[in-house]
Amino acid sequence: MPPVFYLIPGLGADERVFRDLQPALYGETHVLSWLPPTSPTEPLPHYAARVAAGIPFEQACFVVGVSFGGIVALEIARLRPRARVVLVSSIPDAASLPPLLRLVRHTGLHRLVPPQALKLFPRVGQWYFGVNSGADYQLFKRILRDTDPVYARWAIRQLLHWDSRGVGAAVRIHGTHDRVLPRGPAPVDHLIPGGTHFMVLSRAAELGQILNELAQAPANP
């Protein structure tokens, strides 16, 4: 049977970031869209269970999460025993949160700066996320414009306070030039030279090749 891929975009993004990746995948693909949180304090496991409702319980599949989507993918894997998680530009556990974000968590700065502030400085975001000029930058600006600030505030809080105890293993794909979530000391299975936090779009062909190879390889017993 052909592989099944469930794709989860990064914080505030949507199916548009998979524009070039989906055609490169050999198999069935589904994008799991973000849902509005039921409340500002909805627990991440509860949220992940709602997102996971679109995945049949016994289905063998790959859940590919980008950035914060990788954290949600790991939470989904707690609930779907045959799901294999692939992290793209993400972290495998809370201990891998980079120093800058740990400082933000410690100081509570995320509560003072509105999530929509980045919309006012898209060129700063372009540098920070490693977005190419041209069509990629125009898409990045549209994604910033469309991000729901209520959802973004909830997601940032979940990222900073994630309880990853007991989380399962995952295949990790990371770029060498990721400024948002640097790869850190945790092992990386597939390192993309020059890859940035936005490489799901800019390096889609390479990501697709890796994912297709993973799907063709025999699963570990």
On whether residue 195 sits in a domain, the answer given is yes
Domain assignment present for 121: yes
Domain assignment of residue 46, yes or no: yes
Gap between the Cα atoms of 195 and 176, Å rounded: 6
Residue 221 domain flag: no
| Sequence-distant (≥ 6) Cβ neighbours of residue 35 within 8 angstroms | 47, 50, 51
What per-residue confidence (pLDDT) applies to 112? 43
Terminal Cα-to-Cα distance of the chain (whole angstroms) = 19
Domain interval for residue 64: 4-216
Mean pLDDT value of segment 72-87: 97
Backbone dihedral region of 32: left (phi > 0), alpha (psi from -120 to 50 degrees) or beta? Answer: beta
Is the confidence at residue 89, as pLDDT, over 90?
A: yes
Q: Is the pLDDT of residue 219 over 90?
A: no
According to the 3-state scheme, what is the secondary structure of the chain? CCCEEEEECCCCCCHHHHCCCHHHCCCEEEECCCCCCCCCCCCHHHHHHHHHCCCCCCCCEEEEEECHHHHHHHHHHCCCCCEEEEEECCCCCHHHCCHHHHHHHHHCHHHCCCHHHHHHCHHHHHHHHCCCCCHHHHHHHHHHHHCCHHHHHHHHHHHHCCCCCCCCCCEEEEECCCCCCCCCCCCCCEEECCCCCCHHHHCHHHHHHHHHHHHHCCCCC
Q: One-letter amino acid identity for 106?
A: H
pLDDT at 120 over 60: no
3-state secondary structure 189-214: CEEECCCCCCHHHHCHHHHHHHHHHH
Specify if 141 maps to a domain. yes
Lowest mean pLDDT among 48-57, 83-92, 144-153: 144-153
Q: Is the pLDDT of residue 214 over 90?
A: yes
Residue 162's pLDDT band, with cuts at 50, 70 and 90, is: very high
Q: What confidence score (pLDDT) does residue 213 get?
A: 97
pLDDT digits (tens, 9 = 90+) for 57-68: 999 999 999 999
Average pLDDT, the chain: 91
Mean pLDDT of the region 157-164: 94
Let me know: does 85 contact 171? Beta carbons within 8 Å.
yes
The token duo for 175 is 């770029």
Which pLDDT score, from 0 to 100, does residue 105 have?
Answer: 79
CA separation for the pair 108, 180 (Å, rounded): 18
**Does residue 108 surpass a pLDDT of 80?**
no
Total domain count, the chain: 1
Q: Residue 96 domain-assigned?
A: yes
How far out from the chain centre does Cα 127 lie?
Answer: 19
Query: What is the per-residue pLDDT across 37-47, written as a single tens digit (0 to 9) for each?
Result: 999 999 999 99
pLDDT higher than 50, residue 218: yes
**CATH code for the domain of 109:** 3.40.50.1820
